[in-house]
Structure 1
């Protein structure tokens, strides 16, 4: 009886071990392919999603990033513009993409700082749905006006607006433009009508054509048009003057706008769940690139101030910026839509 009991126990244990082994194998067989994506990564082209149209500042920086990232990884990196809905279309696409390292997101404070306070609901969470990779830098903005508007300074613009109530309109192609325009109106007390656009390039086109009076645009997107004399720049949104336009005073130098300081930032994210090895490999390349001379010199011509970070630093920065932009938006009197 004892022998039979031991034999039965042995069979049961063996069967249980076999069951566990089969279950484990089945689990591995059914595992998502990106669970092993870090081995030999990258093995296929990488998409770098941009939430704005071609010709925008983020697009310009993304194209330089894609080229240099591809060279470093010895892989093809393709810029994929998915403009619309203030970056929501692109952000949702990336959030729901396979976390295998082949879909990356070059984005800004629009999707990852401002949208949660500008919109009542979002189809993505800027913290939970993304894996931070690296910061890439900051992009200053400037206030530009239509050439036919008879003003050459912020003081003259505000005086004209007070003398012509209801006549000033401002375009926007992103959250920085929305919040900057609303803040300018609130702080100065001059009513300004907001005209939203899908992205920056069509907003610039209408500004040149006289459909809108002014807009706050990033230096990269507005640089060529300003230098061509098609629209007039009168100030920057940062508290410091920029190297590209040292003659432009900060908006904060105007008495009514003391303390005005709004800057856009850029960073690279991957979908949440992307293998840690892949994130670290990408971070090493991107952070070294952003801190390196070659990249910095190229993007500096666009007015972009480049610098990299660790994934953890970008993650903490994102959380802090969400709180900062919530305060900016509430102070500007903008209601979520």
Structure 2
């Protein structure tokens, strides 16, 4: 018994001695931190990542560098992040797509949205808004559905998205499923290029977050048709919800996107705690709260345990939607 106790003590001492300096309070060491964004520049995750990383770098006294790795609705960049060394120097901007939807949409994504990552913070939630080009003849959701019905033989109206499996795509598929109207999905590698083609008239419509679509709605380049939240949002008070349309099958329509920050599983708890604390402090600043609300986002304040529970519910919810609507990855 005494021998086993000595062995265990020695092994514990070796383990403690082998821990990196940051696990003992020295993180960060000055090494640059990579904030991996699994979408191209210009999208919601990218915009939020750049705002947060600039302030986080100042607080931590080191550089926080954005690395855009778009593709497969956030799956490509997320897989890269999942394989990164869990040393506190890789962060990931996770979304409803990369960390709730894709696991049920794609046969193999190369990571487990729950097991491969540890949550750091939930930045906020926001609905998506259906938009069309300012020159479009469609002014209401009924106009959109009627026009798509009329073009059913050609596949219906074309609708862009930030990629297969994103909240933009799922909103479209849910609308098609509930209304019985067909649309042609046109996936892009991010919101930036997708919404530019809606503005340019190459694609007829798009569901997108208010972070990306909001400025174009305000400038008059896009017309907002409906928001997907249960209630109207403060940033677009004159835009009705999909449910308010009164159209058959849409009374309970709701799609709410979310943005979060994750790190690879195995990242030391002290590092996660420090990240959570500093990012929550940044997000709690009045100017940041106003920015989030200006984007149409509802600020969120959850513990890491609450985020994990929330994510689990989201994974199960979208698995059910994808199965019921028979949505397939393209």
TM-score, normalising length: structure 1: 0.88
Q: Residue 110 of structure 1 is aligned with which of 74, 94, 97? A: 97
Find the counterpart in structure 2 of residue 10 from structure 1. none
Residue 260 of structure 1, aligned match among 232, 253, 270:
253
Runs of 4 or more off by more than 3 Å in structure 1? 19-29, 31-34
Taking the aligned partners of 1:200 and 1:114, their CA distance within structure 2 comes to: 17
Task: Tell me what 2:224 maps to.
Answer: 233
**Are the structure 2 counterparts of residues 38 and 96 from structure 1 closer, same or farther at C-alpha, using a change threshold of 3 Å?**
farther
Whether 1:171 and 2:160 are equivalent positions in the alignment is yes
- Whether 2:272 is the aligned partner of 1:279: answer yes
Contact 1:288 1:308 in 2 (8 A): no
Q: Give the Å deviation of 1:119.
A: 0.4
- Identify if the C-alpha distance between structure 1 residues 107 and 23 changes in structure 2 by more than 3 Å, giving closer, same or farther: closer
Question: Structure 1 stretch 205-214 or stretch 246-255: which is displaced more?
Answer: 205-214
Q: Determine whether 1:156 maps to 2:143.
A: yes
Q: Report the counterpart of residue 9 of structure 1 in structure 2.
A: none
- State the shift of 1:146 in Å: 2.7
For 1:46, which of 33, 38, 41 is the aligned residue? 33
Higher mean C-alpha displacement, 292-301 vs 39-48: 292-301
Match of 2:197 in 1: 206
Q: Which of these residues, 176, 180, 184, is aligned with residue 175 of structure 2? A: 184
**Per-residue displacement from partner, 1:8-38 (whole Å, max 9, x unpaired)?**
xxxxx8xxx7x99997787677x4747x544
2:82 corresponds to which residue? 95
* Contact 2:149-2:156 within 8 A present in 1 as well: no
2:308 is aligned to 315
Distance 1:158 1:181 in 2: 12
Q: 1:38 to 1:243 in 2, by over 3 A?
A: farther
Displacement of 1:201 in angstroms is: 1.0
Partner Cα distance (1:315, 1:21) in 2: 33
In structure 2, how many angstroms separate the alpha carbons of the residues matched to 1:95 and 1:73? 23
Asked whether the 8 Å contact 1:101–1:275 carries over to 2, the reply is yes
Distance in structure 1 (CA, Å) of the matches to 2:313 and 2:295: 26
Look up the match of 2:281: 288
Pair member with larger Rg: 1
Partner of 1:81: 68
Aligned residues: 320
Deviations 1:37-69 (A, max 9, x none): 442211122111111111111211111111222
Distance 1:20 1:331, change over 3 A: closer
Contact 1:169 1:194 in 2 (8 A): yes
Q: TM-score, normalised by structure 2?
A: 0.90
In the alignment, what sits opposite 1:123? Answer: 110
Question: Are 2:47 and 1:60 aligned?
Answer: yes
Counterpart Cα distance in 1 of 2:284 and 2:15: 42
Q: Does 1:72 align with 2:59?
A: yes
Structure 2: gaps (5+ residues): none
Q: SS where residue 140 of structure 1 aligns?
A: strand
Q: Deviations over 1:198-257 (max 9, x none)?
A: 111111122122222111011111122222222221111111111111110001112221
C-alpha deviation, 1:318, in angstroms = 1.0
